[in-house]
Amino acid sequence: MDSATYDPRPSRADAPLHASAHTGLKIVIVGGFGVGKTTMVRAVSEIRPLDTEATMTQVGYGVDDPTGAPGKTTTTVAFDFGRITIDTEHVLYLFGAPGQERFWFLWDRLFTGALGAIVLVDQRRISDSWYAIDRLEHQGTPFIVACNNFGAAFRPHEVRDALDLDSHVPLIDCDARHRDSCKQVLIALVEYLYTPETV
pLDDT in tens, 44-86: 998 877 765 555 455 555 555 556 555 555 555 457 888 888 8
Distance CA 44, CA 148 (A): 14
Confidence (pLDDT) at 133: 92
Is the model's pLDDT at 199 over the cut of 80?
Answer: no
More confident residue, 109 or 90: 90
This prediction has a pTM of 0.76
Q: Which of 84, 81, 112, 108 is nearest to 96 (CA)?
A: 81
Round to whole Å and give the CA distance between 14 and 16.
6
pLDDT one-digit tens code per residue, 102-129: 566 677 777 788 899 999 999 988 988 8
Tell me the Ramachandran region of residue 49: left when phi exceeds 0, alpha when psi lies from -120 to 50, beta otherwise. beta
34 phi and psi angles, rounded to 5 deg:
75, 20
User: How large a percentage of the chain has pLDDT more than 90?
Assistant: 32
